[in-house]
Amino acid sequence: MMSSCLTGLFNVRLCHSISIITCENCNTIVMPLLCSGIIGTIAVIRHGPQAAAGWLEQQHRWTHSMTGAKGRSRRPGSLKNTLVISVGSLLVMLTVGNFVLNVVSAKRYLQGQLETQAQDAATALGLSLSTLLEKGDEVTASSMIDAFFDRGYYDHVTLWNANGEAWIVRQAEKTQQTVPGWYRRLIKLDAPLASADVVKGWNRLGSVSVKVNPGASYERMWQAMVAELVWFMSVFVLAILALLAIVSSALRPIASMVRLANGVVNRDFSIRAEESGASELVRVSKSMNLMLDRLQLIFREQMEQIDLLRSEVHLDPVTGLLNRAEFDRQLTAELDSRDAIPNGNLIIVQVRDFAGFNNQFGRNTGDTLLCAVAEQIVSRVKTCDGVFIGRRTGADFVVYLPALADAKAESIAGAVIQNVVSLPAIKEWCSDDIIHAGIASASGHGASVLLSNADMALRKAQNEHTNGWQRYVENAVESVSAGIGQSSEWRQAIRHALQVSGVSLHFQPVFLAPKEPVLYYKSLARLVLRDKEVSAGIFMPMVERFGLLAEFDRHVVSLAVRELDESLHCGVNLGVSISTESALDDGFVAWVEAFLTAHVSAAHCLMVEIPEYVVQRKPTAFAGWFDLARRLGCTLVVDKFGLSSLPFSYLKKYPVRWLKIDRHFLEGLENNRENKFYIQSVIQIAHSLDIKVIECKGGYMSANLFVEFCKDRWDDIQDYFGGGVLPKIIGGVLGLYLLVAVILGVVWSYPPDLFSVVENKQNALQEMSAEDTVGVATTATLVTIADKLLDKNGGYISNDFFPPGIWLDNIKYWEYGVLIQVRDLARAFRQDMSRSQSQSVEDKDLKVAEPQFNFDNKSWLIPATESEYRQGIEALQSYLQRLVNPQKADAQFYARADNLRNWLQNVETRLGSLSQRLSQSVGKRQWDTSLAGDANAKQSTDRAEVEDIKTPWLQIDNVFYEARGTAWALIHIMKAIEIDFRSVLQDKNALVSLRQIITELESTQETVWSPMILNGSGFGTLANHSLTMASYLSRVNAAIIDLRSLLQQG
């Protein structure tokens, strides 16, 4: 398959002249189908119908995967858009409905006005003409009719004589209308005709008929409609903007949850969800954080367990090197592989008479010596790619160096011997015949033969009876290098091949499984020397020896990109392997970035394979490659995974998406339980981290042995992380929360109903088992009002930070209006009603209650407003219990006229302020009356004599509901005052005045049927709820002024 080179893969170039075609009916891609048809034809010619059928079946699966589910998938709408569209639709319905109702109402009103105007005009004109007609003064009558007609409000005016003949006729000429014709046809106001008799006494002198011209009404309605339309559109736009802001604010607390979910997907377990906000979101955040901690613990324990088992099965417990079985397995896999590099060297290093060393110095010292020798060997070979080291028995160490020249291997063996001899333990042994090494070349030999040759070289070195090494020399060595023997010839041949493009690429398909579509085609380089292709196993050691790896890799990348540029329409992905030295070379990395930047389209189809050794040698370079791949759009594959024996934990530190398991772990997998367990663990961990695992063996991934194992676990973890379930759970919880919040918001927006003050008083007395006394009604009412403020639907909302409380500004201002009256009455209790005179002592409970109610009404926590207000309620209840206890005379309530008058004065100022603010909703010009015309009075800052004052649009409903809450509280307080101050009010003849105040206040609590507080322009077509409320409060304020006057003068 590899030797087929470009023949099988790039026959698709025959399609270069064919443009990319799409089907008009189904919008599917036709060009790949044309390519597959050509390739299928070639398959029939070469391999027969069965091969073609297999090819077509594979292409059918590929085409289905390209055009099936993805083509039918539909991106779900966001919760934010859904909420905005839903609420926006409701706003449109409300706005349009309100607009239509206003137009219909205005039409009926104007039609009635026109009929009334016509009849009134006819009657008035008839009365005015009666005297003139009696005198026969036709000229004056005509002048009067002309003056009446010239006002322009009438279509025609006719004066009839007693015989029914038209005497004076005035007909209006048709004028150009400023109102569109379609609007006149839509509204269609009838022009009423009215008549009246002209009489003098009992004599009928004639009659007059008047027909009103509706043109002025059309103009007024048109102007009003345009103004209302502009107003409604402005309100709608502002409402949508406000809705967007509210929804964005509500969704903001979930940002940390989204970051946490994305962190899990990206294998970053350091992110935590913020445990703040509403209690529901806090519980979700805590659950997600707990889940993340558990997952992190599971992954860490799993990785540690796998690493431990791997060490126990594959590694020597003393030195940490490969044990004998694992080394032999890897050596066999390396030498028996089809694409292995045959030019390698095996070194056996032995510490002679190690048993005697143990007897002389002890086993612990012996183990220390073994570790020291292992460290010396590792330090000398750690920069070599693909090297693996093992300890066979006792003090025997083996090192396999693939793709390494003989001279380099001999240099390493000599350096190892020299370093081991210099160890303190070896010097203490005092012997020159301790450390020996045998070297054997791997050219064409199997594992057993190679080990035997190296062992023979070791025995030869030991026979020299001095520290040193020997190489095994064969009698005859066949040349596999195309007739090239000397190193100088190799250097010249390689450089010439790179200069004249003497490098060809073969392509090996990489599959996830034998029947799955091709993932990509791996590029395999071949060097063309003397018209013959030389495999990488022969020339790559020479390329590395002469330091040409970076130049060679640049050449391979250039060839691969050129092939991609010529075949981009085929949708083919190509993979190129980068050597460790090139990956660590900053100059090579810079060249790759510049080259792929110039070939952006090809870069997106390139799979770059980086050896895992890069992580071991320079982690920063490894991270740099991932950053480069992200910017260029290519895909990075970690190659030779597992050979470096790194812990799996590094997979969480880098954005790894593809792993390529080294072939050593798949050799004899069917009979190797340890490797099977290792591969299963790799697959499980990789898929849990959203990493795809691939391995090329014989042209496809050998997944048969563990694909079911991986599939089950991958499906489970994908459903938990990558399958979209977690975002759906979050979205569902958020949607449910917002839906509940909207429903609760509607419920919580209703203030509590009025309660019976008399029943409330009786209930309080029953609970305390006490007799009635003065002050009980007012005190119990104040306690109940404060309780209602905290325990109504939704509780106390003014200090809420999360939905739905944060949205409900109307009920917040209602609460504020109630709270102001609670504060004022609590202050009146403390200052006046509980004290006999100004020099008397304050009540101990009222001294606590009054400041508690003046605590910040928006404090959410530390301390919460509710807790402070409840302390005030408890203090009032304590005062009430002492008040009804005849044994305790320290609690008093004085129902005197002066006490009531002082509290009413405070209420008067509150209502006056609210009336002014309510009336300012339409805007008005206000004169400065601060000094009340007093020439000697002064004020701290000068003000304009006349100011235009208007309540801000966003504050209109807030002022309205504050006034409504104030009136709600005053109704109950006034009814309690009527009970406790009855004798005073009767004595001053003020009881009726108080009852009238209560009646006016109750009118303020009628149901508001409009979905919003309307703010019509005075006498416009729209209602103005603020002015209506101001009217009620103004009458209440006036009645309170009269009541205070009666209490003072009586």
Strands 518-529 and 574-577: what pairing?
A: parallel
Beta-carbon contacts of residue 260 (< 8 Å; ≥ 6 apart): 271, 272, 273, 288, 289, 292
Q: What is the mean pLDDT of the segment spanning 496-500?
A: 78
DSSP 730-783: HHHHHHHHHHHHHHHHHHHTSPPPP--HHHHHHHHHHHHT----TTHHHHHHHH
Domain count, the chain: 6
pTM of the full structure: 0.38
Q: What is the mean pLDDT of the segment spanning 550-573?
A: 80
Q: Look at residue 747 and tell me if it is in a domain.
A: no
Which of the two residues, 410 and 663, has the higher pLDDT score? 410
Q: What pLDDT is stored for residue 238 in this prediction?
A: 86
pLDDT at 453 over 80: yes
Q: What pLDDT is stored for residue 252 in this prediction?
A: 66
Q: Summarize pLDDT for 800-830 with one digit per residue, the tens.
A: 877 787 778 888 899 999 999 999 999 999 9
Residues 564 and 599 in one domain: yes
Q: Look at residue 167 and tell me if it is in a domain.
A: yes
Q: What pLDDT is stored for residue 163 in this prediction?
A: 78
Q: What is the mean pLDDT of the segment spanning 87-98?
A: 80
Q: Summarize pLDDT for 1005-1032 with one digit per residue, the tens.
A: 888 877 777 776 656 666 778 888 888 8
Q: What is the mean pLDDT of the segment spanning 29-51?
A: 38
Strands 193-200 and 345-351: what pairing?
A: unpaired
Side-chain half-sphere CA neighbours of 315 within 13 A: 17
Residues 983 and 844 in one domain: no
Q: Look at residue 466 and tell me if it is in a domain.
A: yes
Q: What is the CA radius of gyration of the chain?
A: 49
Q: What pLDDT is stored for residue 784 in this prediction?
A: 94
Burial of 600 (0-12, 13-18, 19+ CB in 10 A): exposed
Closest Cα partner for 662 from 693, 627, 631, 620?
A: 693
Q: How confident is the model at residue 175 (pLDDT cuts 50, 70, 90)?
A: low
Question: Token pair 């390698």 is at which residue?
Answer: 344
Q: What pLDDT is stored for residue 426 in this prediction?
A: 79
CB crowding 907-916: b at 16 or more within 10 Å, else e = bbebbeebbb
Q: Summarize pLDDT for 663-701 with one digit per residue, the tens.
A: 666 666 666 666 676 677 777 777 666 777 775 544 333
Q: What pLDDT is stored for residue 35 in this prediction?
A: 38
Which of the two residues, 403 and 900, has the higher pLDDT score? 900
Which of the two residues, 739 and 790, has the higher pLDDT score? 790
Q: What pLDDT is stored for residue 998 in this prediction?
A: 92
Task: Look up residue 928 and give its amino acid.
Answer: D
Q: What pLDDT is stored for residue 68 in this prediction?
A: 39
Q: How confident is the model at residue 294 (pLDDT cuts 50, 70, 90)?
A: confident
CA–CA gap between residue 1047 and residue 883 (Å, rounded): 25
DSSP 107-124: HHHHHHHHHHHHHHHHHH
- In which region does residue 348 sit, left (phi positive, over 0), alpha (psi from -120 to 50) or beta (all else)? beta
CB 541 within 8 A of CB 386: no
Q: What pLDDT is stored for residue 780 in this prediction?
A: 94
Percent of the chain past pLDDT 90, that is, above it, reads: 10
Q: Summarize pLDDT for 930-946 with one digit per residue, the tens.
A: 665 565 666 766 666 66
Q: Look at residue 657 and tell me if it is in a domain.
A: yes
Q: What pLDDT is stored for residue 728 in this prediction?
A: 66
Q: What pLDDT is stored for residue 699 in this prediction?
A: 38
Percent of the chain past pLDDT 70, that is, above it, reads: 76
pLDDT at 74 over 60: no
Residues 504 and 645 in one domain: yes
Residues 219 and 327 in one domain: no
pLDDT at 47 over 50: no
Q: What pLDDT is stored for residue 43 in this prediction?
A: 39
Q: Look at residue 522 and tell me if it is in a domain.
A: yes
Residues 216 and 115 in one domain: yes
Q: What pLDDT is stored for residue 668 in this prediction?
A: 62
Residues 694 and 546 in one domain: yes
Q: What pLDDT is stored for residue 821 in this prediction?
A: 94
Q: Residue 610: enclosing H or E segment and its boundaries?
A: strand 606-611
Burial of 23 (0-12, 13-18, 19+ CB in 10 A): exposed
Which of the two residues, 39 and 867, has the higher pLDDT score? 867
Residues 1050 and 989 in one domain: yes
Q: What pLDDT is stored for residue 481 in this prediction?
A: 45
Minimum mean pLDDT range among 346-355, 694-703, 791-800, 873-882: 694-703
Q: What pLDDT is stored for residue 969 in this prediction?
A: 94
Burial of 682 (0-12, 13-18, 19+ CB in 10 A): buried
CATH number at residue 496: 3.20.20.450
Residues 988 and 854 in one domain: no
Residues 513 and 398 in one domain: no
Cα torsion 700, 703, 705, 708 to 10°: value is: -150
Q: Which of 27-36, 502-511, 565-574, 781-790 has the highest mean pLDDT?
A: 781-790
Which of the two residues, 745 and 928, has the higher pLDDT score? 745
Q: How confident is the model at residue 162 (pLDDT cuts 50, 70, 90)?
A: confident
Q: How confident is the model at residue 251 (pLDDT cuts 50, 70, 90)?
A: low
CATH number at residue 105: 3.30.450
Q: Look at residue 528 and tell me if it is in a domain.
A: yes
Q: How confident is the model at residue 56 (pLDDT cuts 50, 70, 90)?
A: very low
Minimum mean pLDDT range among 485-499, 843-857, 906-920: 485-499
Strands 396-401 and 606-611: what pairing?
A: unpaired
Q: What pLDDT is stored for residue 486 in this prediction?
A: 53
pLDDT at 590 over 60: yes
Q: What pLDDT is stored for residue 336 in this prediction?
A: 65
Which two tokens mark 923?
């805007």
DSSP 981-1006: THHHHHHTT-HHHHHHHHHHHHHTTS
Q: Cite the DSSP H helix spans in 769-864.
A: 776-791, 809-828, 846-853
pLDDT at 41 over 50: no
Which of the two residues, 684 and 447, has the higher pLDDT score? 447
CA–CA gap between residue 392 and residue 723 (Å, rounded): 47
Parent domain of 432: 319-471
Residues 686 and 668 in one domain: yes
Q: Look at residue 283 and tell me if it is in a domain.
A: no
Q: Summarize pLDDT for 264-279 with one digit per residue, the tens.
A: 766 666 777 777 666 7
CA–CA gap between residue 296 and residue 721 (Å, rounded): 13
CB 860 within 8 A of CB 799: yes
Q: What is the mean pLDDT of the segment spanning 467-473?
A: 85
Please state, rounded to an integer, the average pLDDT across all residues of the chain: 76
Q: Summarize pLDDT for 179-231 with one digit per residue, the tens.
A: 888 877 887 888 888 888 888 777 778 888 888 888 777 788 888 888 878 88
pLDDT at 973 over 90: yes
What are the two backbone dihedrals, phi and then psi, of residue 636, each rounded to the nearest 5 degrees? Answer: -105, 135
Q: What pLDDT is stored for residue 55 in this prediction?
A: 40
Q: What pLDDT is stored for residue 726 in this prediction?
A: 58
Residues 605 and 691 in one domain: yes
Which two tokens mark 919?
């009336």
Closest Cα partner for 236 from 111, 103, 332, 93?
A: 93
Q: How confident is the model at residue 838 (pLDDT cuts 50, 70, 90)?
A: low
Residues 549 and 657 in one domain: yes
Q: Look at residue 337 and tell me if it is in a domain.
A: yes
